[in-house]
A and B are shown apart, each in its own frame.
Chain A
Amino acid sequence: EAGVAQSPRYKIIEKRQSVAFWCNPISGHATLYWYQQILGQGPKLLIQFQNNGVVDDSQLPKDRFSAERLKGVDSTLKIQPAKLEDSAVYLCASTRGEAGGATGELFFGEGSRLTVL
């Protein structure tokens, strides 16, 4: 079974530029998450999708971050314009679970490391 795929693995941009990250979850996984992991901290949930609908985006800075999951499979996370404090690893995860239940075992990709100069 193929794992969660993310790209690019590394990205360096200057502040005020834009960047996009892509995630392909495990086949058949209905729920997809984007987490932000700042150095020395635990992953922070940015957005959770159930199929192609948003379940929770309460911690997504919507003035600069956007995410979509067209057709309920792949997802992209965009930052525009980037700030210095956006430097972090962006982790994508997926799970079989349906909203309202399930065991919540997340399968993570290797992450996309963003450096904003």
Chain B
Amino acid sequence: AQSVTQLGSHVSVSEGALVLLRCNYSSSVPPYLFWYVQYPNQGLQLLLKYTTGATLVKGINGFEAEFKKSETSFHLTKPSAHMSDAAEYFCAVSDQDDKIIFGKGTRLHILP
């Protein structure tokens, strides 16, 4: 069965600094990987996804993530944080049957 581990339930970065949110996965088959964002009192919204092909995936709002099979990782990055990036971020994995398993989430705080 697949699973996801997100390192750090809270991450704080200064505005303009690099954002790095860590995600490691476990899957018995080639996985599909996702990052979702959740703003307060809203549902989850897809940021980006990896299915096949290029391992560096670009998403919305300047975010990107790199699939590293050897490290079973799918870390989320953004070169320069904005105040509007403050939200909760969820990494998720699917074993291609449309069943998606979410991590526990990382709350991103942006310091002025």
Contact = CB atoms under 8 A, between A and B. Distances in A.
A86 B49 CA distance: 31
A45 B98 contact: no
B111 interface: no
Given A42-B90, A111-B43, A104 B100 contact: yes
A4 B102 CA distance: 19
Contacts of B101: 45
A104 B44 CA distance: 14
Given A102-B98, A104-B34, A42 B104 contact: yes
A106 interface: yes
Contacts of B42: 110-111
Contacts of A70: none
- Classify the secondary structure of A's interface with B: loop
Contacts of B32: 103-104
A60 B110 CA distance: 36
A31 B36 CA distance: 19
Nearest to B52: A103
A72 B96 CA distance: 22
Contacts of A101: 96-98
Interface stretch (A13-21, A61-69, A77-85, A91-99): A91-99
Contacts of A93: 43-44
Interface in A31-90: 31, 33, 35, 40-45, 48, 55-56
Contacts of A42: 90, 102-105
Interface in B64-112: 90, 94, 96-105
Contacts of A109: 43
B46 interface: yes
B104 A41 contact: yes
A91 B104 contact: no
B28 interface: no
